[in-house]
Structure 1
């Protein structure tokens, strides 16, 4: 485990146990456990973000070795996605070091940041999220408007809308009642059988 762990006061026991096995599977479990430690650390520090990737983006400016963390998480994802992926002891140490350095950087940053700076960061993050949502909603509305104009303004659109309308009308008013009736009959039969079985168990 990283030296000077007392600076972070984290529980590395599961990762240590896995690494002590000295096997490829142990190394992989060690990386997975370190990812858990990292995710829990971000959660405890109340770093905003819907997942770990989003949280990392939020604190990216405070990471002194962001590439090292990126490498560590790439290895983690390979372990998750590739069952036969193998990792050496040295690579495992590099991965753990990448996670540890990121957590150390964040710990130091959170200590030095003022309340106003933290509030400002959160505001920027949530503002960026709102902008993203607005863009998505705008794109959806634009697509909907274009679709409506297509059906309303073009001959092909009008013919398509007419054909769709007839199809829906046929399904709802012609076939629909039969489907509902059949479903009701099946439900009643099922209910009747269930009641009979229940009565049979009572005797």
Structure 2
């Protein structure tokens, strides 16, 4: 694994300007993300990876705070950051990298790795299943309503009538447009032919 050069981060921090402090955070976060991705832990983004793997970090909450500040720096050009806050953020990233590099993830049991992924994916899967169940229930309920109730049947009849009217109107409009375009193109070809024929006749008369 390529060794991280923290000297660049330290030099940026020592400059002390707001711009250099922001770049120091960006560089530290880049190193943290690189190390995190190498560990192949669950999570769609760095913040979710921290949440899913917080037990491996000395202070996951500080890392989450650092991530929020990093996102503000990237997304908001007028975001302000002081030297003290920057130092806390850099320390959080330093510690995060240290925690990752000193945890033997290869020694974890497969069942534990599966548990990590399950803990991360289960809430999203539950939400998806819930939405599918609710959607299916509402669909079946609407089918029964429109098929078996008088008001539902009346609404269906009106909607179908409107659909037929709109479809027939659209179809007629399209046919009229096609006919108009065909007549226009035919007229252009006809007059162009007449024009060319007249030119040929005049040439022959000479």
Alignment-derived partner of residue 80 in structure 1:
74
Matches within 5 A, 1:95-110: 95-110=89-104
Q: Pairwise CA RMSD of aligned residues?
A: 3.4
- Counting matched residue pairs gives 180
- List runs of 5+ in structure 2 lacking aligned partners: 186-206
Which residue in the other structure is 1:172 paired with? 167
Unaligned runs of 5+ in 1: 1-5, 190-203
Determine helix, strand or coil for the equivalent of 2:95. Answer: helix
Alignment of 1:85-164 (within 5 A): 85-111=79-105, 113-116=107-110, 117-153=112-148, 155-164=150-159
The 3 A distance-change label for structure 1 pair 16 and 169 is farther
- CA deviations 1:5-46 (Å, max 9, x no partner) are x9x932446645643543212222322333333322222211
Instruction: Report the more deviating stretch, 37-46 or 153-162.
Output: 153-162
Q: In structure 2, do the counterparts of structure 1 residues 91 and 131 end up closer, same or farther at CA, with 3 Å as the change threshold?
A: same
- Whichever of the two has the greater Rg, that structure is 2
Tell me how far 1:165 sits from its aligned partner.
2.5
Select 1:31's aligned residue among 25, 31, 40: 25
Specify whether residues 17 and 147 from structure 1 end up closer, same or farther in structure 2 by C-alpha distance, changes over 3 A only: farther
TM-score normalised over the length of structure 1:
0.68
TM-score (norm 2): 0.67
